[in-house]
Structure formats: structure tokens, C-alpha cells
């Protein structure tokens, strides 16, 4: 992986029945946002468009094929350019296979606003990553 900044990532917002599917990141101190709730997605590979990257990442992380993801926004700072897409989750959680992360779950707008959500696997409430919380608050405001 390159140490050059900014890096580009593609991230998916997955609404499902008024809630949003989020990933509890692995609780490994050497990764970004360890043990925090965030959104599914990841690095855009060389030659990939953000649209292709978000579809690939979601398929890799939960085995779900996105249905026509639409661009929501782009959030940039000096380290990361985050391309944000949204697409409805059209299957129940038991149809998904988590292959990256500690846990995943459907998070309510109230939990997003509070900045914490319970994880059965962690056995406790865990905080949302601040950047992902802000993205979700912006999306909820725009979406409603």
C-alpha cells in the first residue's frame, strides 16, 4: 500500500426499512477506527472507478451485490477522498456473510445521532467513527 496521500475510498450507505447497515470494525489497534461502527467500503484500486470499487468492496465484505448504487457525496481532507454511494439493502441480514469486520447490524437514525450502537458480538455499545457518523447525519438530513 502506498503512503501517498490523499488515498481514495468508495463507501456504501445501505438503507433497510428505516435503518442503515453498518460494520463494526475489527478491534485491532493498527487499523483505522478500530472497534468503531463505520460504513462498508474500502480503497479504490488502480484503474478502478469509484462505482466499480464500491460494488467490489461490498461484495467482498458481506457477499451482497449492490443494486444500482447512486452517488451521494464526496468528502475530502488532506488524507482521504471518500466517494459516498447509496443503494437499498434488498435482502435480510441472514442472507449476508460478514467477511471483514467484527460485527454488523442495522443502526437506527437515533443511534447514529447519539453516536453509539449496541453490538451483540462485542457485548456492549460501541461508538460510531466520527467521520462516518457525520456522513450518515448528512445523508439522513438529505434523504428525509
116 has pLDDT over 80: yes
Averaged pLDDT for residues 56-62: 98
pLDDT band at 3 (very low <50, low <70, confident <90, very high): low
pLDDT of residue 31: 85
**Residue-level pLDDT at 5:** 77
Which contiguous run of DSSP H or E holds residue 10? strand 7-16
pLDDT in tens, 68-100: 999 999 999 999 999 999 999 999 999 999 999
In this predicted structure, the answer to whether residue 4 has a pLDDT above a threshold of 80 is: no
CA distance to 83, 98, 113, 128, per residue, from 43 (Å): 10, 18, 26, 20
Mean of per-residue pLDDT scores for the chain: 95
- Give 144 or 99, the one with higher predicted confidence: 99
Backbone angles phi, psi at 34, to 5 degrees: -65, 135
Q: So what's the pLDDT on residue 119?
A: 97
For the segment 22-40, what is each residue's pLDDT rounded down to a tens digit? Answer: 999 999 998 888 999 999 9
Contact 64, 93 (CB under 8 A): no
Amino acid at each position: 500500500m502506498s503512503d501517498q496521500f490523499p488515498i481514495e475510498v468508495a463507501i456504501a450507505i445501505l438503507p433497510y426499512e428505516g435503518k442503515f447497515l453498518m460494520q463494526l470494525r475489527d478491534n485491532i489497534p493498527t487499523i483505522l477506527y478500530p472497534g468503531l461502527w463505520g460504513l462498508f467500503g474500502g480503497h479504490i484500486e488502480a484503474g478502478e472507478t469509484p462505482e466499480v470499487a464500491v460494488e467490489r468492496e461490498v461484495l467482498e465484505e458481506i457477499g451482497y451485490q449492490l443494486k444500482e448504487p447512486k452517488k451521494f457525496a464526496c468528502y475530502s481532507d488532506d488524507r482521504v477522498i471518500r466517494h459516498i454511494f447509496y443503494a437499498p439493502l434488498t435482502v435480510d441480514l441472514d442472507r449476508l456473510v460478514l467477511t471483514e469486520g467484527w460485527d454488523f447490524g442495522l443502526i437506527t437514525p437515533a443511534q447514529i445521532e447519539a453516536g453509539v450502537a449496541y453490538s451483540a458480538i462485542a457485548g456492549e455499545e460501541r461508538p460510531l467513527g466520527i467521520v462516518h457518523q457525520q456522513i450518515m447525519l448528512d445523508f439522513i438530513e438529505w434523504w428525509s
